[in-house]
Amino acid sequence: MQKFRRYKEVSKVSRIARRYLVMNGFDGILVFLGLLVGMYLSEIKEPTLIIFTSLSTFLAVAISGFVGTFVAEKAEREKEIRSLERAMLRKLSNTIIRDAARFACFYSALVAAISPMLFAFIPMIPIFLTTLGLLNFDTAFFISISLALIILFLLGIFLGKISEENKLLWGIKLLILGCLTLLILFLVKNFP
């Protein structure tokens, strides 16, 4: 653990990983909302189908997030190391700088892969509960939507804390974005 903490410090990966957490978490919630509302408006109220579709979509998003982030971070880190090697007039193989760069690529990719599933899993719980007969589908649908909006609000508060600005205002901004997304999804049904 101490080695990993040192790698995080040397690579300064925490800020980057935090960005991936927020971006991909936001994406995860909106993708789930899109799937859920799309199925609901199509009158597909089969919880197992929604769960399977959501899980398979999030698996694809996780793979995409991991690979995309890993290769992008690797390219950026390699560029930084080559620049540093030119400045120092020596290779940085087998150094903490090289090891920390590898760690940063993997760590960022892992955060990017896990965050959409993590953020979308909570709003999916009510749909799971319908398979156990604990909720009817319509109630589960509205609870899922509410949970997704609450998570967006909390994500906004987190962004407010990071930016050292008004947390409540940030929460409201993301909540409004979530509501606008829902409005657009419901309006799409009226198009031919």
Structural domain total, the chain: 1
Q: Which of 41-45, 108-112, 152-156 is predicted least confidently?
A: 41-45
Question: Is the per-residue pLDDT at 192 higher than 70?
Answer: no
- For residue 88, the model assigns a pLDDT of 87
Q: For residue 104, which of 131, 65, 129, 76 has the smallest C-alpha distance?
A: 76
Residue 166 lies in a domain: yes
Question: Is the per-residue pLDDT at 40 higher than 80?
Answer: yes
Q: Tell me how crowded residue 14 is: count the other CB atoms within 10 A of its CB.
A: 14
d(CA 104, CA 73): 8
- Across the range 57-72, mean pLDDT stands at 94
Residue 83 lies in a domain: yes
Residue 188 lies in a domain: no
Residues 6+ apart with CB under 8 A from 23: 112
Residue 189 lies in a domain: no
Give the model confidence (pLDDT) of 81-114 as tens digits. 999 888 888 888 888 888 899 999 999 999 999 9
- Across the range 115-128, mean pLDDT stands at 93
Residue 173 — very low, low, confident or very high, per pLDDT cuts 50/70/90? very high
**Amino acid occupying residue 74:** K
Residue 50 lies in a domain: yes
| Domain around 101 | 2-183
The pTM is what?
0.86
Side-chain half-sphere CA neighbours of 69 within 13 A: 29
Residue 191 lies in a domain: no
Look up residue 115 and give its DSSP letter: H
Full DSSP string of 35-76: HHHHHHHTT---HHHHHHHHHHHHHHHHHHHHHHHHHHHHHH
Q: Which two tokens stand for residue 129?
A: 């509960």
